Amino acid sequence: MWYCTNCGNESSKWMGRCPACGEWNTMVEAPSEKKSAKSGSKGLAARASSGRKPVLLKEIDRSKEPRLMLGLPEVDRLLGGGIVPGSLVLIGGEPGIGKSTLSLQIPLASGLKTLYVTGEESARQVKMRADRLALSSGEVPPDGAFPRTGLRSNAEAGGTSPDNHGDEQTLVFTETKIESIIAEAEEIRPELMIVDSVQTMFTETVESTPGSVSQIKEVAAMLLRFAKESGVPVILIGHITKDGYIAGPKILEHIVDVVLQFEGENRGSYRILRSIKNRFGSTSEIAVFEMTGTGLREVANPSEMLIPMHEAGLSGAAICAMLDGTRPLLFEVQALVSSAVYGTAQRSATGFDTRRLNMLLAVLEKRAGFHLSAKDVFLNMAGGLKVSDPAADLAVIAAVLSSNFDYSLPGDSCFAGEVGLSGEIRPVGQTDRRIAEAARLGFKRIYVSSYTPLPDNLPKEIKVVKVADVPALVKALFKNA
């Protein structure tokens, strides 16, 4: 069998290009999948006599399965209100982004009896990390500073057993053979199991090396089976690289119940945990963390960190009122427009689709007569945010023009609107909520599409400026430039 390391597509022969996802050179051989399939079916036959019977849908008692609180309110919110017993949650992200840190903060914060399996670190390393993290919850701050709030006591977080201290409830297990892990878990019966990482685990039923596609698939399938049968929720950590090539989270997405993805620029200290799949809650929600010297600190109000740190009056910056999932979020878009040093102009965007940037520049050129084709344009989304909300278009255009004119925009203005190919400004979803959040944060002016239907009960403190197209925006913003 051959597998695509990008999407997990199976094929009986090698192909240069995966027919499912269209990626090149992603097919790898998975030699002994047959053997695993055989043992899998044996397992199935064994379970056939487990005495279980189909149950009527209406007779299934849902109330018996309360969710478990992990003690980190932002993570609980992302999961849809705590973790569901028997679910398999995958936390993916690039190496060094903070997956192991988060996965250790969870048992410490929740006080749940946790089996913490690690194939990456020694028990001592885990202990050292835990000590470092414990500093943030300790009563006595080490340097007399105010303690960070990354870890909350279980009582405060509304957890199940206020008297438990996380480190008395966490069992560290340095093992990579999945059969031993599951056997141990069945014996211990923890309330939560964490496995760091799927790439280091292996099963005897598959012959290939740990980290290969077939190993990862089988390990995840076995953990899923364990979770469903025992009711123990399992958090599985998986590495991905920037180009997503290493076998991992991508091929697991359809096996697991929940996928949370860590994002963020490694050089910045902010990390974003995004829910990209959730069988028990909504997707495209995010939680924001700050990596501190003592672990990850939850940033309960991300808008406050994403809006400017500098004095107002710099050109090339515009604030966007974005909606991430269900939560409005204000952040700064920064642009730098300068004369091209080399023959061809450079276009580069961080956290924003470069093709979309090129389209917006073409609209500025064609519909508003700005000759930017000989200019380098750099675009950056504050805080390492990756933005896909079309409402960012208007702020991008405003930031680009601001830099181009070297004329700063008023710091109390923000933007929410999509820009169409003919230069028209189109309405975006839930504009009223964006306006409400902007008003709450003290903004005095928000630019939206003229075509936005708005309710009457908008906050009075903020002026809603309606613009119909790009030339109208230019007139409204830069008449003095």
Residues at the contact surface with Mg ion, assessed by CB under 5 A: 100
User: Is 233 within 8 Å of 84 (Cβ atoms)?
Assistant: yes
Sheet holding 286-292: strands in order across? 170-173, 114-118, 192-196, 234-239, 88-93, 258-263, 270-278, 286-292, 295-299
From the list ligand TYD, Mg ion, none, which binds 203 (C-beta under 5 to 8 Å, kind-based)? none
What is the CB-side half-sphere exposure of residue 415 using CA atoms within 13 A?
30
> Token pair for residue 154?
């279980």
In the bound state with ligand TYD, the residue whose beta carbon lies nearer, of 93 and 159, is 93
Closer residue to ligand TYD, CB minimum distance, 200 or 403: 200
In the complex with ligand TYD, the residue whose CB is nearer, 198 or 477, is: 198
Q: Which is nearer to ligand TYD, 268 or 471 (CB)?
A: 268
What does the block give as tokens for 445?
């002016």
Q: How far is the CB of 101 from Mg ion (least distance, A)?
A: 8
Q: For ligand TYD, give the closer residue by CB, 125 or 350.
A: 125
Nearer of residues 116 and 415 to ligand TYD, judged by Cβ? 116
Which residues of the chain form contacts with ligand TYD (CB under 6 A)? 93, 95-101, 129, 132-133, 291, 293-295
- The nearest distance, CB 32 to Mg ion, in angstroms, is 28
Q: Which does 132 bind (CB under 5 to 8 A by kind): Mg ion, ligand TYD, none?
A: ligand TYD
Question: Shortest Cβ distance from residue 238 to ligand TYD (Å)?
Answer: 10
CB of 132 to ligand TYD, least distance (A): 5
Q: Which H helix or E strand runs over 19?
A: none
Burial class (CB in 10 A: 0-12, 13-18, 19+), 57: exposed
Among ligand TYD, Mg ion, none, the one that 8 touches (CB under a kind-dependent 5 to 8 A) is: none
Q: Are 307 and 441 in contact (CB under 8 A)?
A: yes
Q: Residue 462 binds what, of Mg ion, ligand TYD, none (CB under 5 to 8 Å, by partner type)? A: none
Chosen from Mg ion, ligand TYD, none, partner binding at 93 (C-beta under 5 to 8 Å by type): ligand TYD
- Which CB, 108 or 360, lies closer to ligand TYD? 108
Strand-pair partners of 275? 260
How far from 212 is each of 50, 100, 137, 300, CA to CA, in Å? 32, 21, 39, 38
Task: Map residue 4 onto helix, strand or coil.
Answer: strand
Instruction: State the nearest-atom distance from the C-beta of 270 to ligand TYD, in Å.
Output: 12
User: DSSP letter at 64?
Assistant: T
Report the residue number, 248 or 295, with the smaller CB distance to ligand TYD.
Answer: 295
Per DSSP, what are the bridge partners of residue 177?
202
| DSSP letter for each residue of 320-385 | EEEEETTEEEEEEEEEEEEE-SSSSPPEEEESS-HHHHHHHHHHHHHHH----TTEEEEEEEGGG-
CB of 239 to Mg ion, least distance (A): 8
Q: How far is the CB of 103 from ligand TYD (least distance, A)?
A: 8
The residue type of 277 is K
Closest approach of Cβ 95 to ligand TYD, in Å? 4
